[in-house]
Chain A
Amino acid sequence: MAHAATSATVLTPRLACRDAPVIHFDNVTKVYVNQNRPALDHVSVDVDKGEFVFLVGPSGSGKSTFLRLVLKEERPNSGAIHVAGKDLARLSNFKVPHLRRRIGCVFQDFRLLPNKNVYENVAFALEVIGKPRRFIRKVVPEVVELVGLEGKAHRMPDELSGGEQQRVAMARAFVNRPMILLADEPTGNIDPATSIGIMKVLDRINRTGTTVVMATHDAAIVDSMRKRVVELEDGKIVRDQSRGVYGQAY
């Protein structure tokens, strides 16, 4: 660290690499086709490795757009996005699947396959990226246990409660040990009591070193977790607090 202290402005490449944020938005603007108002308006934000970030704001404020840009499901109109050290503008379509293998996703509507049981739903994420069966047999039960569904591996999704289905979705998102976990309103369809359990799982995943970005409306959860809060409004960042609450007056 002595070196860094003597020349704070000139970072060595190794240091720069280690300190590089996992998500880096630099002046990003996104305007959807046939819309005048930008969904994201000159947004600059960094998320470091291992952070837990709440993305809050009213509907249409740009939370989902932010997540879609991280996944390269959309391209920004201007500005630069780096995810996991990769410049997304220079990432060829051919390599996008490899980027997505390092990002796990959880949604409000769970998106489970109704004709597969818990184990098969989680294993599916590994099968489709060509992991060997031996590996799948080993890691899937571990992750099913991590999300608190031990003993329910052979249940079908329609035999599970909403909270349990979301746990399956989280297991599927985490089973490939992603660098980043994106959660888009994961508690949106779940009652408050069950939501606490979901948040515990997300926290557990965060403690393994995975960066978690969670878009939410749920004030109670944001207030209870005391994590970093980034608030969006009309596509602009209006607040970025390191140990924030949902609707703080500043």
Chain B
Amino acid sequence: MRANFIFSEVWIGLRRNLTMTIAVVVTVAIGMALLGIGLMINAQVGSMSSYWSDKVQLSAFLCMKNSPFEACKGRGAVSSQEKVALQKQIESLQQVDRVSFEDQQKAYENFKAAYSSNSVFLSAVKVDDMPESFRVKLKDPNDYKAVFDALSGAPGVANVVNDQQLLDKFFGLMNKLRGAALIVALIQVFAAILLIGNTVRLSAYNRRRETGIMRLVGASNLYIQLPFVMEGTIAGLVGGVISAVLLMFAKIVIFDSMQKFFVLSTQLSWSDVAQVITLTTVVGVLICILASFVTLRRYLRV
């Protein structure tokens, strides 16, 4: 009986305020989707840094015939004596944990594995095109400067690539995206709060006859306020569901395709997405409930 009555009141209220309700739903959906994307970027960066923390290495690629690199100009492929000397030099550095040598065949296999989805790339590259390299694992991935400098100048080394630097670049980009998403989300949340306030105000005005009579015959405050708060809650919930759909879409379109463009990327798991969706929906509904309560206290005398 009670529930029945309140739900019919809520339904009437939502129908009367349809345009405002739609505005609330859209604002909440976009705000929560952007908040969710911020959180998903967080999860992505987290999973990548934990995945790579014990895998980051410094790669010193060696000169081959006709290397385009500046360091190899005027000389041929690296000689075996140079390789031995390089290995000795690397092992003597105190920051180095261990070092391994990657020949052309192994490099080609790794390349194939990384670009297995890109057949054009694969067919264009042959085993002979792959450079030989020393793979250096550092004791502390952040303390790479000395090793990097020593290797960059060494004879026979074409160029040095540090995974950590690549990751840092990627993380920097991700942090900027996350910051932008969160700022826009914050603005949307602010707009949502104002919109909900206005909706409740309008709704209270539309139903002033009903609430007046309810007060007069002694309906409790809860009974008078609940339909308004429920309206806000339902709008928040619908917004949450739409944002959940947007977030799943973002996971498939943006995050999963990131792997194609960026080799170091890891896959964002669905359980991470589920967590983000739960959190954003709860936040969206809570914001709606709070905004409704606060405006009700101002515009509905009980």
> Within 8 Å CB of A71, what residues of B?
216
- Bound form: Cα–Cα A176–B214 in Å: 13
> Within 8 Å CB of B215, what residues of A?
97, 100
With A97-B219, A97-B220 in contact, do A128 and B214 touch (Cβ < 8 Å)? yes
Q: Which residue of B209, B214, B216, B221 contacts A105 across the interface (Cβ within 8 Å)?
A: B216
Cross-chain contact B223 with A130 (CB below 8 angstroms):
yes
Q: Which of A97, A111, A113, A129 has the most CB of B within 10 A?
A: A97
Please count how many residues in chain B sit with their CB below 8 Å of the partner chain's CB atoms: 17
B-side interface residues toward A, CB under 8 Å?
1-2, 5, 209-210, 212-221, 223-224
Q: Interface size for chain A: under 10, 10 to 19, 20 to 34, or 35 or more residues?
A: 20 to 34
Considering the complex, give the chain A residue whose CB is closest to the CB of B224: A128
- Bound form: Cα–Cα A100–B5 in Å: 21
Cross-chain contact B218 with A99 (CB below 8 angstroms):
yes
Cross-chain contact A125 with B217 (CB below 8 angstroms):
yes
A-B contact pairs, 21 of them (CB 8 A): A97-B215, A97-B218, A97-B219, A99-B218, A100-B216, A101-B218, A102-B218, A103-B218, A105-B217, A113-B209, A113-B210, A124-B213, A125-B217, A127-B1, A127-B5, A128-B214, A130-B223, A131-B1, A132-B1, A133-B1, A172-B217
- Bound form: Cα–Cα A79–B110 in Å: 92
- Bound form: Cα–Cα A132–B218 in Å: 16
B293 to chain A, nearest CB (A): 16
A98 at the interface (CB under 8 A from B): yes
> Within 8 Å CB of A111, what residues of B?
209, 212-213, 216
- Bound form: Cα–Cα A105–B213 in Å: 10
Considering the complex, give the chain A residue whose CB is closest to the CB of B216: A105
A residues 95-135 with Cβ under 8 Å of B?
A: 97-105, 111, 113, 124-125, 127-133
- Bound form: Cα–Cα A111–B211 in Å: 11
With A113-B209, A113-B210 in contact, do A129 and B219 touch (Cβ < 8 Å)? yes
> Within 8 Å CB of B213, what residues of A?
111, 113, 124-125, 128, 172
Cross-chain contact B218 with A129 (CB below 8 angstroms):
yes
Cross-chain contact A98 with B218 (CB below 8 angstroms):
yes
- Bound form: Cα–Cα A104–B218 in Å: 9
Cross-chain contact B1 with A97 (CB below 8 angstroms):
no
A residues 124-152 with Cβ under 8 Å of B?
A: 124-125, 127-133
- Bound form: Cα–Cα A132–B2 in Å: 8
